[in-house]
Amino acid sequence: MKATIYEGNRTFSVIEKELEEPIKGEVRIKVAYSGVCGTDVHIYHGMMDKRVNIPVTIGHEMSGVIDALGNGVSGFSIGEKVVVRPLDDRGAKPSDKGFNHICEDLKFIGIDSPGSMQQYWNVPAFTLHKLKPETDLKLAALIEPLAVAVHDVRLSELKAGETAVVLGGGPIGLLVAMVAKETGAQVIVSEVNENRVTKAKELGLNAVNPVNIDLVEYVKAQTEGRRADVVFEVAGVQQALDVMTEIAGIRGRILMVAIHGQKKEVDLFKFFWKELKLIGARVYEKEDYEKAIDLITKNELPFEQMITEVQPLSNIQQVFEGIDNNPDGLKVLMDCQA
Ligand SMILES: NC(=O)c1ccc[n+]([C@@H]2O[C@H](COP(=O)([O-])OP(=O)(O)OC[C@H]3O[C@@H](n4cnc5c(N)ncnc54)[C@H](O)[C@@H]3O)[C@@H](O)[C@H]2O)c1
Ligand SMILES: [Zn+2]
């Protein structure tokens, strides 16, 4: 079988290796597609060399078919379409209060242990979610990032008739916007990359560029002065933190989706003044995965347009170099059987 290996120093290799039998409690998946996540790009840039166990196969946004069952695995059969929820919560303790998706000792499969950018992938059976026979495997590679969006919107308690602003129209922001719009809320995407603004419009979203317009005035105009009920911070930059407290209205909820590796400045006075709420949102829970699977299987949203490139596994080095040179692209999928 073919596997890709991150070697460190912005280098991937593609190797041939023996097919491994799944151990007790694990299944072997024939991986169909594996999407490139911002985190994978971070790893490629060497930002996570202390955490990943180089040399290692990375990847966690995938779809596939069960290929072999280890001892003790029940409820699954060979040939079934599945996705992996890449959270290894075996270290969860009572002090995690049942929130195993963010348990203190959480291991992220594909970062802390080998990932999906290979032809076959052995994973614990408890990570699996079944797809429907009719679920498209290419679109199914979007289920992991879509589940992030579903989780964010669920925690925001966004309702029909409310207004949400999504700061950042990258893959995650656009999925958040699509899911938010499904609630019946008015949704505004703010994105500084003009090509991504265009892309957001093609996806049927109301998107603006805060470089060209005054975002605060725009949001006020769209809400008869009420400003946003919900703000999703999905850009990860100081400017977004500066504007989020401006555009949030009275008792507005701000969802912190972006990962800020460093401490940043936030206008806390606005939290007092408008009784704002700041809500952290990290990955997803089982129900978010099920909802994402349902959305992908129904395929009523323009998911297909989120996939801007599909490449064979053997092109992995060019794919990561290409992503660095093309900030407009959205989801790149590796075809793991090509
Ligand atoms: N909470 C979670 O569990 C979770 C899961 C996945 C990703 N994330 C985080 O979500 C964020 C978004 O992920 P992504 O893959 O879409 O990243 P991305 O970098 O592709 O998207 C960020 C977008 O924000 C835009 N942007 C930059 N400055 C802006 C500004 N001032 N105003 C508006 N837009 C601006 C960029 O042009 C870009 O399109 C990242 O921080 C990522 O780490 C969090
Ligand atoms: Zn991801």
Do 28 and 154 have their domain in common?
no
Give the tens place of pLDDT for each residue, 157-190. Answer: 999 999 999 999 999 999 999 999 999 999 999 9
**Confidence at 328, pLDDT banded by 50, 70, 90:** confident
Structure tokens at 225: 């002065």
CATH number at residue 320: 3.90.180.10
Q: Which helix (H) or strand (E) holds 274?
A: helix 268-274
Tell whether 292 is covered by a domain: no
With the most atoms of ligand 1 within 8 angstroms of its CB, the residue from 179, 259, 279 to mutate is: 259
Whether residues 132 and 152 fall in one domain = no
Number of domains in the chain: 2
Looking at the CA of 61, name the nearest ligand: 2
For ligand 2, the distance from its centroid to the CA atom of residue 36, given in whole angstroms, is 7
CA–CA gap between residue 54 and residue 44 (Å, rounded): 11
In a domain, 238, yes or no: yes
Q: Is 240 in the pocket of ligand 1 (CB under 6 A)?
A: yes
Span from the CA of 144 to the centroid of ligand 2 (angstroms): 7
Q: Examine the domain organization and report whether 110 and 58 are in the same domain.
A: yes
Residues contacting 86, CB < 8 A, separation 6+: 60, 108, 109, 110, 115, 127, 144
Q: What is the mean pLDDT of the chain?
A: 98
Note whether residue 286 is domain-resident: no
pLDDT at 10 over 90: yes
For the Cβ of 1 lying below 6 angstroms from any atom of ligand 1, the answer is no
Mutate to test the pocket of ligand 1, among 143, 144, 192 (most ligand atoms within 8 A of CB): 192
Q: Are residues 225 and 264 in the same domain?
A: yes
What whole-number percentage of the chain has pLDDT above 70? 100
Q: Is residue 285 assigned to a domain?
A: no
pLDDT at 154 over 90: yes
The answer to the question of residue 291 being in a domain is no
Query: Does pLDDT of 48 surpass 90?
Result: yes
The yes-or-no verdict on residue 136 having pLDDT over 90 is yes
Q: How far is the CA of 218 from the centre of ligand 2 (A)?
A: 31
Angle at 155 between CA 150 and CA 156, to 5 degrees: 100
Supply the pLDDT for residue 254.
Answer: 99
* Total residues belonging to the chain: 338
Residue 132 lies in a domain: yes
Structural domain span for residue 62: 2-136+299-335
200 is a domain residue: yes
Residues 106 and 166 in one domain: no
Please give the positions annotated as active site.
39, 42
| Per-residue model confidence (pLDDT) at position 62 | 98
Residue 287 lies inside a defined structural domain of this protein:
no
Three-state SS string across 230-269, please? Answer: EEEECCCCHHHHHHHHHHEEEEEEEEECCCCCCCCCCCHH
Return the ligand number nearest the Cα of 144. 2
Residues 167 and 249 in one domain: yes
- Give the distance (Å) from ligand 1 centre to CA of residue 269: 25
